[in-house]
């Protein structure tokens, strides 16, 4: 069972602050590796500065509070 199996909302989180950077707008499907690549590729396509941000980010599921505020 993968880390993201059955998770409905995922996003990017800052490695140092653990703060949510962005919420992935699509359903997470595939293996954990495929999901991480899709999320990072999606975020990279959104901004010129995304490359620098991605160096210090990781894919993670949203907390209950984050889910409520990102419906």
In a domain, 15, yes or no: yes
For 16, the domain range is 10-69
What sections of the chain are H helices per DSSP?
A: 32-44, 50-54, 64-69
Percentage helix, strand, coil for the chain under 3-state DSSP, each rounded to 5 = 35, 20, 45
Q: How many domains does the chain have?
A: 1
Local structure of residue 26 (DSSP, 8 states)? S
Indicate whether 4 belongs to any domain: no
pLDDT of 48: 81
What is the structure's pLDDT at 1? 63
24 in any annotated domain: yes
User: Quick one: what percent of the chain has pLDDT higher than 70?
Assistant: 97
pLDDT tens digits for range 24-47: 999 989 999 999 999 999 999 988
Q: Considering the domain boundaries, does residue 2 fall inside one?
A: no
Q: Is residue 1 included in any domain, yes or no? A: no
């Amino acid at each position: 069972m993968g880390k993201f199996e059955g998770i409905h909302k995922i996003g990017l989180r800052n490695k140092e602050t653990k703060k949510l950077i962005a919420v992935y707008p699509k359903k997470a499907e595939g293996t954990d590796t495929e999901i991480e690549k899709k999320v990072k590729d999606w975020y990279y396509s959104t901004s010129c500065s995304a490359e620098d941000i991605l160096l210090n980010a990781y894919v993670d599921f949203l907390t209950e509070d984050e889910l409520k505020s990102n419906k």
